[in-house]
Amino acid sequence: MKHTLATFCLLLVGIALSLPVRADGDVGAPVVVRDPYYGDVLFHFYKGDYFNAIVRLTAAQKRGVLSHHDEDAELLRGGLALSYGLHEEAGEIFDQLLAAKTRPEIRDRTWFFLAKIRYQRGYLDAAAQALAAIGDELPKNLEPERRVLAANVAIERGQFDEAIAALERWKGPKGWSDYARFNLGVALVRAGRFAEGANWLDKVGRLGDDRPEMLGLRDKANVALGYTWLQNEAPERARPVLQRVRLKGPFSNKALLGVGWADSDAGDFRSALTPWNELAGRDLLDPAVQESLLAVPYALGKLDATGQAATQYESAIVAFSQEHQRLSNAIADIEAGGMLDRMLAVDATADDTSGWYWRLDEMPDATESRYLYLLMAEHSFQEALKSYRDLVALRANLLSWLDKTRVFREIMDTRKAGYAARLPRIEESLANADMQALRARHDELLARVQRVESEQDLFALATRREQQLADEIGDIASKPVLSASSPELDDVKARLRLLQGVLKWQAEQDFPARVWRQKKQLHDINRILVGAERARLAVDDARVNEPERLLDFDQRVTTLTPRIELMLARVEATIQRQREFLDGLAVDELRAQQERLDTYTVQARFALAAVYDRATAASNDDGAQP
């Protein structure tokens, strides 16, 4: 089972990536996510948060924001629906993909998953048609499962020769084919083709694979083959096959019982006592152990150990009665309610949205737990329990969303109050802000800088000190006294020309940098003005449209609350029905165990009476002798 679940997880990853998945679990090259919303979906998917992944995927598809990943997203949605047991919805999605002009690799994977759905639902002919439609673009990692699926479909349809031919040509990973070989062997035996079925079961029963799941399959095949030989009155062939089963495995009890019956059928009752006595000391919960409590005194009776046989029958009757009472107590606990909550509480640390591959691997410490292991191993109960768990998780999500709508309501009220409070201040600020005047002033300054640059007006951008010095030198140079000519005045005029030259040279050196700084400052001012103008437009838009947006969001929140409450009521009702269904399955299972104990008790009483009758008859015969 772990192998199958892990494989399905990899298949879902392959769906999400739209890439083949290698056998070692590597998904190959990185995926280029072109739509951010699809990346958000994949983020939740890779976290194992399948519920939020499918919610976000559905919402994104309705909004039409996955244009670059339409086919991949739809295939992922089908896989996620399948992971939650929504077979009909998944089937519809795959059918729609096949009706569209999808890429060949998408079509082949879609046919493959459609075949799986049809097989799981018992539509064997339709599953065979889907498998036949698969082309050459199916990823190599899916090919082994496709072959096994094809073999299982053929077996279920009674086409054993076709399944045999497919398995004989098998060249893929051996682990996959062994399950199909086991199914084929069992089906052939049930169809009356004992020799062929035994041959396939024997092959599986001799597997050399030491992986835990393969060891379990090997034991299961040996038990099936051993009991097949017992039913065909061949105990000498059944015994060595059953002895291949591990003594500590899940099938050891049934194997020990079968070994004892093989010895018994061969007339060797003393040897039969060895496995039966070993079995009788194990947990009475197992039907094989219960049967051994009758088998041991049966063998003792055949060995003329009448007293020991009677004692063993009496002990069996007491044990059956005590177990029957414990079952009654367990039934009462289940009917009192709380069994399912106790089961889920054991797994309380797991993610509530894990979907497909969640499985209850540990039972709670409760009265009924020890009697439900066999029921828990059944696929139907596990699927129903997963559905119950998904419903509980859905209820938690709805309750969370209901709380969020209350938060949204508070947010809306706060935004309305804030809008009403800020609007007067905003309108006053807008009235005082003359953007046109600011823009005109900026343009005027820009024109002045451009004129200064074009005319090379060096002192237009000079510092105040430089302008002051230039004015002072000009004033001195314009004095009438300097118009005369003398050696002293000529020296003063030369010095003034030198000072004017130095100032002009300094102004020429600094002029480019000063022009650049002015332009940069005007550019920054322009950027601020553009931002302010945009903000003004945004404010104007908000003044016009914000009340409508607030009203629209308010209406959405208002209508969402009753929808959530309606869905919550439906989920609660469905949870109750599912709880009653699961409780009923558990109670039926425990009552079936009680009925089996009642049958064994009746058999034990009749056998004990027969032992007493034989003992009385033997005593009378001894007393009648002279």
What does the pLDDT look like over 391-417, one tens digit per residue?
888 888 899 888 988 888 888 888 878
Asked if residue 54 lies in contact with residue 80, where contact means CB atoms within 8 angstroms, the answer is: yes
Distances (CA, A) of 156 to 121, 166, 253, 514: 12, 14, 29, 92
Asked if residue 109 lies in contact with residue 76, where contact means CB atoms within 8 angstroms, the answer is: no
Q: For all residues of the chain together, what is the average pLDDT?
A: 81
State whether the Cα torsion 92-98-100-102 is positive or negative.
Answer: positive
The residues near 142 (Cβ < 8 Å, ≥ 6 apart) are: 11, 14, 20, 109, 112
The residues near 437 (Cβ < 8 Å, ≥ 6 apart) are: none
Containing H/E element for 492? helix 487-624
Q: Convert the pLDDT of each residue in 413-432 to its tens digit.
A: 888 788 778 777 776 776 67
Q: Convert the pLDDT of each residue in 490-506 to its tens digit.
A: 787 788 888 888 888 88
Asked if residue 512 lies in contact with residue 456, where contact means CB atoms within 8 angstroms, the answer is: no
CA proximity to 142, closest of 121, 169, 111: 111
Q: How many Cβ atoms are within 10 Å of 513's Cβ, its own excluded? A: 10
Residue 37 has pLDDT above 80, yes or no: yes
Q: Can you state the angle between helices 70-83 and 50-63, rounded to 10 degrees? A: 140
CA-CA-CA-CA dihedral for 390, 391, 396, 402, to nearest 10:
130
Distances (CA, A) of 182 to 118, 366, 380, 437: 22, 36, 21, 90
The residues near 414 (Cβ < 8 Å, ≥ 6 apart) are: none
Q: pLDDT value at position 107?
A: 81
**Which pLDDT band, with edges at 50, 70 and 90, does 15 fall under?**
very low
Asked if residue 42 lies in contact with residue 36, where contact means CB atoms within 8 angstroms, the answer is: no
DSSP for residue 307: H
Distance CA 58, CA 65 (A): 11
Distance CA 228, CA 233 (A): 9
Residue 29 has pLDDT above 70, yes or no: no
Q: Convert the pLDDT of each residue in 252-293 to its tens digit.
A: 999 999 999 999 999 999 999 999 999 999 988 888 999 999
Total count of residues recorded for the chain: 626
Q: Convert the pLDDT of each residue in 111-165 to its tens digit.
A: 888 888 788 777 889 889 888 888 888 888 788 888 888 888 988 888 888 888 8
CA proximity to 221, closest of 236, 209, 203, 208: 203
Kindly tell me the burial class for residue 227, based on how many C-beta atoms sit within 10 Å of its own C-beta (0-12, 13-18, 19 or more). buried
Q: Convert the pLDDT of each residue in 540-568 to its tens digit.
A: 777 777 777 777 878 888 888 899 999 99
Q: How many Cβ atoms are within 10 Å of 80's Cβ, its own excluded? A: 27
Residue 11 has pLDDT above 80, yes or no: no
Most confident of 33-37, 72-76, 199-203: 199-203
Q: pLDDT value at position 82?
A: 74
Angle at 592 between CA 311 and CA 388, to 5 degrees: 140
Asked if residue 109 lies in contact with residue 142, where contact means CB atoms within 8 angstroms, the answer is: yes
Mean pLDDT of 322-329: 90
- Provide the residue type at 576 as one letter: Q
Structure tokens at 201: 């079961």
pTM over 0.75: no
Containing H/E element for 244? none
Kindly tell me the burial class for residue 545, based on how many C-beta atoms sit within 10 Å of its own C-beta (0-12, 13-18, 19 or more). exposed
CA-CA-CA-CA dihedral for 423, 427, 428, 430, to nearest 10:
140
Q: pLDDT value at position 425?
A: 76
State the Rg of the chain over Cα.
44
Residue pointed to by tokens 């035994």: 198
Q: pLDDT value at position 80?
A: 83
Distance CA 127, CA 121 (A): 9
Q: pLDDT value at position 137?
A: 81
Residue pointed to by tokens 């090379």: 456
Q: Convert the pLDDT of each residue in 180-211 to its tens digit.
A: 888 888 888 888 888 888 999 999 999 888 88
Asked if residue 604 lies in contact with residue 295, where contact means CB atoms within 8 angstroms, the answer is: no
Q: Please provide the DSSP assignment of 243-276 as one string.
A: TTS-TTSTTHHHHHHHHHHHHHHTT-HHHHHHHH
